[in-house]
Amino acid sequence: MRIIAGRHRGRRLAAPPGEATRPTADRVRQALFDMLWHAPWGGREAIEGARVLDAFAGTGALGLEALSRGAAHATFLETHRAALAALRANIAVCGESARSTVLAADATRPPPAPAPCALVFLDPPYGKGLLARALPALAAAGWIAPGALVSAECGAGEAVALPGFAPLAERAHGAARLVILRAP
């Protein structure tokens, strides 16, 4: 697993051993950032200078990819101890400690946000209904800015019903499906 583009392009990222995390594959991350960068509802301004939230962060690959491509700051939410260690190591390897905040926090019961984020990544374990629980909890805690872009990754056959969020795009990539939403 590596950073795809930007100032950290090619940088390898560590992942914790075992099945506790399921890092987003490089090809899926590439497809996601291509959509964000080139879609009529996205563009460079969707990433460059944005405050980013990487919920269910795991290795931090999504937030670190955003930082590599010019995001201003990324906050990472993760609860698994081994994933937190890998996440912190990946942030250090990329030299992004000054523009990153790591919180050992559950995205379904998040702490209050210090500032809302314009770009939100949600990549929970598949098939557990966590997207439907996390998105309203994050919005209520102030993590999601009005009009923010939200990227939700789920299993290819998983239903995603997120009332109040406007669907913008959807793409299947093997076992994964990316759903891009606009916050109200």
Euclidean distance between CA atoms 93 and 97, whole angstroms: 9
Residue 155 within any structural domain of the chain: yes
Is the pLDDT score of 22 beyond 80? no
Residue 9 within any structural domain of the chain: no
Residue 2 within any structural domain of the chain: no
Query: Is the distance from CB of 83 to CB of 106 less than 8 angstroms?
Result: no
- Count the neighbouring beta carbons within 10 Å of the beta carbon of residue 109: 11
Can you give the C-alpha Rg of the chain in angstroms?
15
pLDDT of residue 16: 84
Euclidean distance between CA atoms 167 and 123, whole angstroms: 17
Residue 171 within any structural domain of the chain: yes
Euclidean distance between CA atoms 123 and 59, whole angstroms: 11
Encode pLDDT of 75-134 as tens digits.
Answer: 999 999 999 999 999 999 999 999 999 999 999 999 999 999 999 999 999 889 999 999
Which amino acid makes up residue 6? G
Instruction: Provide the edge-to-edge strand list for the sheet that holds 166-173.
Output: 100-104, 73-78, 51-55, 117-122, 144-155, 176-182, 166-173
Residue 57 within any structural domain of the chain: yes
E runs forming strands in the chain? 51-55, 73-78, 100-104, 117-122, 144-155, 166-173, 176-182
Q: 90: domain range?
A: 28-182
pTM listed for this prediction: 0.94
Residue 21 within any structural domain of the chain: no
β-pairing, 144-155 with 176-182?
A: antiparallel
pLDDT of residue 18: 66
What CATH number is attached to the domain comprising 112? 3.40.50.150
Encode pLDDT of 48-89 as tens digits.
Answer: 999 999 999 999 999 999 999 999 999 999 999 999 999 999
Euclidean distance between CA atoms 146 and 93, whole angstroms: 33
Q: How many domains does the chain have?
A: 1
Residue 104 within any structural domain of the chain: yes
The residue among 49, 63, 46 whose CA lies nearest residue 122 is: 63
